[in-house]
Amino acid sequence: MQVRMPLACCAILLYTFLLYCLKKRLHTMTSRVYEAMVCSSITHVLAAVVTEYTVNNRDKVPYLFNHIWHIIFLVSVTAVCALLYLYLILYVERGTGRAKPWHKRMLCLVVSLSLLGELILPITYEQTPYGAYSLGPKAYSLYLTVVYVMVMMTATIICYHKALDLEKCYVLLCSVLIFVIVAGIQICFPYILLTGLGVSLIVLGLAINAEDVHMYISGDTGLYNEQGCREILQEAVLCGRPFRVGVYAFLGRDDAIRDAMQGLREALPEKKSRVICGALADNLLVVIPMRVRGKTGELPELPAPAGSEDLTVVSEVMDFSGETAVAEIINGAKDFKNRFEEDSLQRDELTGMLRRTAFIRQMEYMMKMGQSFAFLMTDLDNFKQVNDRFGHGAGDDLLRKIAEALQGEVRTSDVVCRMGGDEFGILLAGLTTREAVSAVADRFLAAVSGICPPGENVVVTLSIGAWISRPTDRDRSFQAVYAKADAALYRAKYLGKNRITFAE
Portion of the chain with pLDDT greater than 90, in percent: 12
130 or 199, greater pLDDT: 199
Pick 332 or 342 by higher pLDDT: 332
Domains of the chain by residue range: 4-212, 216-345, 356-502
Q: Is the pLDDT of residue 445 over 70?
A: yes
Question: Residues 252-261: what's their mean pLDDT?
Answer: 81
DSSP labels, 7-28: HHHHHHHHHHHHHHHHS-B--S
Residue 480, pLDDT above cutoff 50:
yes
Query: What pLDDT is recorded for position 437?
Result: 92
**Residue 1: what pLDDT?**
41
- Topology match between the domains 4-212 and 356-502: no
71-75: long-range contacts (C-beta < 8 A, 24 or more apart)?
71/118, 71/119, 71/138, 72/43, 72/47, 73/44, 73/47, 73/48, 74/118, 74/138, 74/139, 74/141, 74/142, 75/115, 75/118
**268-299 pLDDT tens trace:** 888 788 888 888 888 888 988 887 766 777 88
Q: Which residues contact residue 312 at a Cβ distance below 8 angstroms, ignoring those fewer than 6 apart?
A: 250, 251, 252, 344, 349
* Average pLDDT rounded to a whole number, residues 138-142: 81
pLDDT, greater one: 126 or 427 = 427
Which of 5-9, 54-58, 84-88 has maximum average pLDDT? 84-88
Q: What is the pLDDT of residue 297?
A: 73
pLDDT at residue 5 in the model: 63
Is it the case that residue 473 has pLDDT exceeding 50? yes
Confidence check: pLDDT of 67 > 90: no
Question: Does residue 413 register a pLDDT over 50?
Answer: yes
The residue with greater pLDDT, 306 or 112, is: 112
Q: Could you give the CA distance from residue 335 to residue 73 in angstroms, rounded to a whole number? A: 54
**DSSP per residue, 223-246:** SB-HHHHHHHHHHHHHTTS-EEEE
The arithmetic mean of pLDDT across residues 458-468, rounded, is: 89
Amino acid letter for position 36 = A
Q: What is the pLDDT of residue 131?
A: 60
Question: Which ranges constitute the DSSP H helices of 274-325?
Answer: none
Q: Which of 157, 161, 165, 175 is nearest to 26 (CA)?
A: 165
The closest alpha carbon to 354, from 427, 409, 284, 408, belongs to: 427
Q: Which of 27-41, 290-304, 404-418 has the highest mean pLDDT?
A: 404-418
Q: Is the pLDDT of residue 68 over 80?
A: yes
Tell me the pLDDT of the chain averaged across its residues. 81
- Does residue 431 register a pLDDT over 70? yes
Please give the average per-residue pLDDT across 451-457, as a whole number.
63
Give residue 309's pLDDT. Answer: 59
What is the reported pLDDT for 107? 92
* 216-345: CATH topology: Alpha-Beta Plaits (3.30.70)
Q: Bigger pLDDT: 42 or 79?
A: 79
d(CA 488, CA 504): 8
What is 356-502's CATH number, 3.40.50.2020, 3.30.70.270, 3.40.640.10, 3.90.1150.10? 3.30.70.270
**Is 26 or 261 the better-scoring residue by pLDDT?**
261
Q: Which of 308-312, 411-415, 439-443 has the highest mean pLDDT?
A: 439-443
Q: Is the pLDDT reported for residue 259 higher than 90?
A: no
125 or 353, higher pLDDT: 353
Check residue 158 and give its pLDDT: 84
Report the pLDDT value the prediction gives residue 200, as an integer from 0 to 100.
67
Nearest to 17 by CA among 197, 207, 211: 207
Is it the case that residue 466 has pLDDT exceeding 90?
Answer: yes
As a whole number, mean pLDDT of residues 94-108 equals 86
CATH architecture of 4-212: Up-down Bundle (1.20)
- State the pLDDT confidence band at 300, using cuts at 50, 70 and 90: confident
What pLDDT score was predicted for residue 209? Answer: 63
pLDDT tens-place string over residues 364-375? 888 888 889 999
Read off the pLDDT of residues 197-237 as tens digits, 9 standing for 90 and up.
667 667 666 666 656 667 777 777 778 888 888 888 888 88
Residue-level pLDDT at 425? 93
Report the percentage of the chain scoring pLDDT > 70: 85
Q: Is the pLDDT of residue 310 over 70?
A: no
Pair type for strands 295-296 and 291-292: antiparallel
What integer pLDDT is reported at residue 168 of this predicted model? 72
Find the mean pLDDT for residues 162-180. 75
Q: Mean pLDDT over residues 336-353, rounded?
A: 79
